[in-house]
């Protein structure tokens, strides 16, 4: 596991860099332990999520310009924290940038550290980043989850470490609504008549074979992914067919089904007409939060508003399983604001060091938001 440099601050924590796929794989047991006891569970911070996207990103890169740069935080030789970063090298004529950040844009919520003592772990991470400034030019931390304490801890730790930084609100909001009643009472309390009409419309057609069911173990359902990919291929916005997301990353989602399913972190809500898949909703279960990650429906049944009906079913599912919030996740899609006016707002933090080149890149980014400082992003 010791495939990177090791540094010990004046604190009781030692910080170690993991920079190979093999090193990341060796962390699976400790990573799963920390994820299981996290105060604020986050599927995007799990070993399964990080490792599957790391493999894909490194394969797509093919030039060795992307590699893990994870900070492993130990106390008395026990792993107590993980900072899941990658190192990217962007090159253009006369331009060479070494940037640290989270691995993928497909994560709607990121946290700097995984572990219980967030304040102490964040301080250890920031201290290390200051001492290792020769290894990076810019740190770009996107989609940081703002739960009221983590962002404040990051700002305080960066300031104490002498790292210059700026904090911005992300452009997209994450609409959400509380789950405090079953759907049979929620729609009336929140005046969601449009959704209740869709829900009742599906119930009224039960005699034609229409039904909704929850799949808590998608890894056990043969052919489920292929059925979802077929329906996803019909997704449109403004009449234009969207580029597939799940269909583009079938191997990655097959792996996620196989690993997140047994951990109880993923649930599918399916609408079917007999054996035909009409619509799907991919949900992540993070503690008491239910996250709506991906949805799609067969356009032949669009008049039934199957996506709306599935959200009704998801709220009922969440209530019956002890969830207290339904999160639509990132995106300002108009339909989300028919359901709620409440939203979470993520943050983005840019950090730079005292070296001239780091100050230059930070100034360029802060003033012009130079596109070359950002990795290519694929919409999900």
Distance CA 374, CA 273 (A): 44
User: Poorest-confidence range of 46-55, 158-167, 237-246?
Assistant: 237-246
For 28-71, how does the pLDDT look when each residue is reduced to its tens digit (9 = 90+)?
Answer: 999 999 999 988 999 999 999 999 999 999 999 878 889 999 99
pLDDT at position 204 is: 96
**pLDDT on residue 321:** 97
User: Which three-class secondary structure state does DSSP give residue 189?
Assistant: helix
Predicted confidence at residue 377, as pLDDT, reads 32
- pLDDT range class, residue 369, cuts 50, 70, 90: low
Closest to 375 (Cα-Cα) out of 128, 118, 116, 105: 105
Q: Indicate whether 238 pLDDT > 70.
A: no
Which pLDDT score, from 0 to 100, does residue 378 have? 35
Q: What is the largest CA-CA distance in the chain?
A: 71
Tell me, what's the pLDDT at 260? 97
User: What per-residue confidence (pLDDT) applies to 374?
Assistant: 40
The single-letter DSSP state of residue 114 is: B
Q: Of all helices (H) and strands (E), which one includes residue 75?
A: strand 70-75
Residue 98 sits at φ, ψ, to 5 deg, of -105, 110
Domains annotated for the chain, with CATH where assigned, are 6-172+346-373 (3.40.630), 180-323 (3.40.630.30)
Distance CA 177, CA 325 (A): 6
Confidence band of 379 (pLDDT split at 50, 70, 90): very low
> Rounded to the nearest 10 degrees, how much is the dihedral formed by the CA atoms of 50, 51, 54, 59?
-160
Answer yes or no: pTM beyond 0.85. yes
Q: 219-234 pLDDT, tens per residue?
A: 999 999 999 999 999 8
Residue among 351, 281, 369 at smallest CA distance from 83? 351
User: Looking at residue 2, what is its pLDDT?
Assistant: 44
The b-or-e profile of 90-119 (16+ CB within 10 A means b, else e) is beeeeeebbbbbbbbbbbbbbbbbbbeebe
């Amino acid at each position: 596991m010791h495939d990177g440099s090791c540094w010990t601050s004046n604190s009781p924590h030692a910080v170690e860099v993991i920079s190979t796929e093999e090193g990341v794989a060796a962390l699976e047991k400790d990573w799963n332990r920390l994820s299981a006891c996290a105060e604020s569970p986050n599927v995007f911070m799990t070993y399964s999520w990080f490792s599957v996207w790391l493999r894909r990103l490194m394969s797509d890169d093919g030039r060795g310009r992307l590699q893990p740069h994870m900070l492993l935080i130990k106390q008395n030789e026990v792993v107590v924290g993980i900072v899941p970063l990658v190192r990217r090298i962007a090159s253009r004529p006369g331009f060479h940038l070494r940037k640290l950040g989270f691995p993928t844009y497909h994560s709607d919520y990121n946290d700097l550290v995984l572990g219980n003592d967030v304040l102490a772990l964040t301080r250890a991470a920031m201290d290390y980043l200051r001492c290792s400034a020769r290894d990076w030019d810019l740190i770009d931390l996107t989609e940081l989850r703002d739960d009221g304490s983590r962002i404040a801890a990051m700002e305080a730790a960066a300031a104490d470490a002498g790292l210059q930084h700026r904090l911005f609100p992300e452009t997209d909001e994450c609409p959400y609504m509380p789950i405090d009643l079953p759907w049979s009472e929620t729609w009336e309390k929140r005046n969601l008549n449009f959704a209740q009409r869709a829900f009742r419309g599906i119930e009224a057609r039960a005699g034609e074979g229409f039904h909704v069911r929850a799949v808590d173990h998608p890894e056990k359902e043969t052919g489920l992914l292929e059925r979802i990919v077929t329906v996803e291929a019909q997704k449109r916005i403004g009449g234009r067919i969207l580029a597939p997301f799940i269909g583009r990353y079938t191997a990655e989602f097959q792996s996620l089904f196989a690993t997140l399913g047994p951990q109880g972190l993923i649930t599918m809500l399916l609408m079917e007409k007999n054996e035909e898949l009409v619509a799907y909703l991919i949900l992540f279960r993070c503690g008491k939060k239910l996250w709506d990650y991906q949805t799609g429906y067969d356009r032949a049944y669009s008049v039934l508003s199957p996506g709306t009906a599935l959200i009704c079913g998801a709220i009922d599912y969440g209530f019956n399983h002890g969830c207290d919030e339904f999160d639509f996740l990132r995106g300002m899609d108009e339909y989300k604001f028919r359901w709620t006016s409440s939203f979470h707002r993520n943050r983005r933090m840019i950090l730079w060091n005292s070296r001239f080149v780091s100050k230059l890149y930070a100034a360029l980014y802060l003033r012009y938001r130079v596109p070359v400082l950002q990795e290519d992003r694929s919409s999900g």
